[in-house]
């Protein structure tokens, strides 16, 4: 599978119509389920404390992935329900929508999961997530002071991210 | 190739009460369909917990790599969901229609016990017709 090639921030900035402020929150998890980054722009409702919230979100994604892998109507033989799957293995999902929000999900081959929660009427955000992944590569992975697997504390990344998410329509 | 792969109906406590397969290549056995149905029930509930805004009623549409899952929840908590090809339109209408069939031919059946698996001949017949009609409409489009 060809993922994201090139050294410069490759998928050129997806065009924005600049209505702004559609992003609710964003999560980045590594393959062990550690929340590397949590950003919040517009979230009036908090039902749980932050740690519980991250755990619940990771659990939801994990279970939804095993659900879609099991449900996949195009392949006849599938692993049993609940068997952990490697990134890229089995049928995954890229978004779901409820009446109050839309969640878009991307998993990189190294198991980095990026989750963006937006207004339910935003369009297809798969390209936007690839762009955010590239921001992550540029500003976090290439940062010599960053230790992989620890929470991200990069001023530049946060700034670039805030700016970009504000432009998503 | 079918536009609709399968249909599930689950009761308010997450038990599968109806499952029909319309020609997906990976047909599930009974145990798996029961598991998947109750897993969906809990995922639906968790998605409401994670909402950034109050008033969330759970997942309506899940877009996977090879299929779309449309879900409709009735006011009493019964969930209807179809698995269909990615990008299939007008599934909300179909789900509402299936809900109507359910109220007419299942709930109004005096021999049907609430929350139990659906075994109603008339429901089956009308459901097959509705799905058939939907397919014809799809071909015409």
Burial B97-116 (b: 16+ CB within 10 A, else e): bbbebbeebbeeeeebeeee
3 state SS of A68: helix
Residue A91 lies in a domain: yes
| Total number of domains constituting chain B | 1
Shortest Cα–Cα distance, B6 to chain A (Å): 9
pLDDT at A7: 45
**Spatial separation of the C-alpha atoms in residues A6 and B106, rounded to whole Å:** 58
Residue A1 lies in a domain: no
More confident residue, B23 or A129: A129
Question: Per the CB < 8 Å rule, is B56 touching A44?
Answer: no
State pLDDT tens for residues B48-65: 999 999 999 999 999 999
Asked if the C-beta of A94 comes within 8 angstroms of chain B's C-beta atoms, the answer is yes
Residue A27 lies in a domain: yes
Residue A7 lies in a domain: no
Asked if the C-beta of B5 comes within 8 angstroms of chain A's C-beta atoms, the answer is yes
C-alpha closest to that of B4 among B105, B136, B108, B117:
B136
ipTM: 0.90
Average pLDDT, chain B: 91
Residue A18 lies in a domain: no
Asked if A132 and A114 touch (Cβ cutoff 8 Å), the reply is: yes
Crossing angle for the helix pair A50-71 and B30-49, to the nearest 10 degrees: 150
pLDDT at B70: 96
* Residue numbers in A near B63 (CB within 8 A): 93-97
**Spatial separation of the C-alpha atoms in residues B17 and B9, rounded to whole Å:** 6
Asked if the C-beta of B30 comes within 8 angstroms of chain A's C-beta atoms, the answer is no
Residue A12 lies in a domain: no
CATH number (domain holding residue B129):
3.30.450.70
3 state SS of A127: helix
Residue A156 lies in a domain: yes
Query: Which residue range forms the structural domain that includes residue A97?
Result: 23-72+80-167
C-alpha closest to that of A57 among A34, A80, A78:
A34
| Total number of domains constituting chain A | 1
Crossing angle for the helix pair A126-136 and A155-167, to the nearest 10 degrees: 160
Residue in B closest to A47 by C-alpha: B49
B window 68-97, beta carbon within 8 A of A: 69, 83
State pLDDT tens for residues B85-123: 998 888 999 999 999 999 999 999 999 999 999 999 999
State pLDDT tens for residues A87-125: 888 899 999 999 999 999 999 999 999 999 999 999 999
pLDDT at A67: 93
Query: Which residue range forms the structural domain that includes residue B70?
Result: 4-140
Q: Which residues of chain A have pLDDT under 50?
A: 1-2, 5-7, 10, 14-18
Shortest Cα–Cα distance, B67 to chain A (Å): 7
Mean pLDDT of B23-43: 88
**Spatial separation of the C-alpha atoms in residues B139 and B3, rounded to whole Å:** 10
CATH number (domain holding residue A158):
3.30.450.70
pLDDT at B141: 65
Interface test mutation site (partner B, options A45, A95, A98, A104, max chain B beta carbons within 10 A): A98
């Amino acid at each position: 599978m060809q993922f994201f090639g090139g050294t410069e921030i490759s998928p050129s900035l997806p065009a924005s119509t600049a209505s702004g402020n559609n992003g609710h929150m964003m999560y980045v998890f590594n393959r062990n389920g550690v929340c590397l980054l949590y950003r919040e722009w517009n979230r009036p409702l908090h039902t749980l404390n932050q740690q519980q919230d991250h755990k619940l979100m990771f659990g939801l994604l994990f279970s939804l992935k095993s659900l879609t892998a099991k449900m996949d109507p195009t392949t006849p033989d599938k692993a049993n329900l609940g068997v952990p799957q490697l990134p890229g293995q089995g049928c995954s999902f890229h978004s779901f929508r409820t009446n109050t929000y839309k969640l878009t999900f991307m998993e990189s081959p190294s198991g980095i999961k990026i989750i963006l929660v937006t207004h339910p009427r935003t369009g297809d955000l798969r390209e936007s997530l690839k762009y955010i992944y590239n921001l992550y590569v540029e500003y976090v992975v290439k940062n010599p002071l960053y230790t992989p697997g620890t929470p991200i504390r990069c001023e530049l990344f946060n700034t670039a991210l805030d700016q970009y998410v504000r432009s998503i329509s | 190739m079918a536009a609709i792969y399968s249909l599930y109906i689950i009761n308010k406590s997450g038990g599968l009460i109806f499952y029909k397969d319309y020609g997906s290549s990976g047909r599930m056995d009974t145990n798996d369909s029961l598991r998947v149905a109750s897993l969906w029930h809990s995922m639906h509930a968790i998605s409401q917990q994670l909402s950034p805004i109050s008033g969330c009623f759970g997942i309506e549409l899940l877009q996977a790599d090879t299929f779309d899952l449309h879900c409709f929840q009735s006011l009493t908590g019964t969930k209807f969901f179809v698995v269909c090809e990615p990008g299939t339109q007008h599934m909300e209408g179909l789900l509402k229609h299936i809900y109507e069939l359910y109220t007419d031919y299942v709930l109004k059946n005096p021999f049907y016990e609430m929350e139990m698996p659906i075994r109603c001949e008339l429901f089956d017949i009308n459901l097959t017709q509705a799905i058939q009609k939907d397919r014809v409409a799809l071909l015409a489009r």
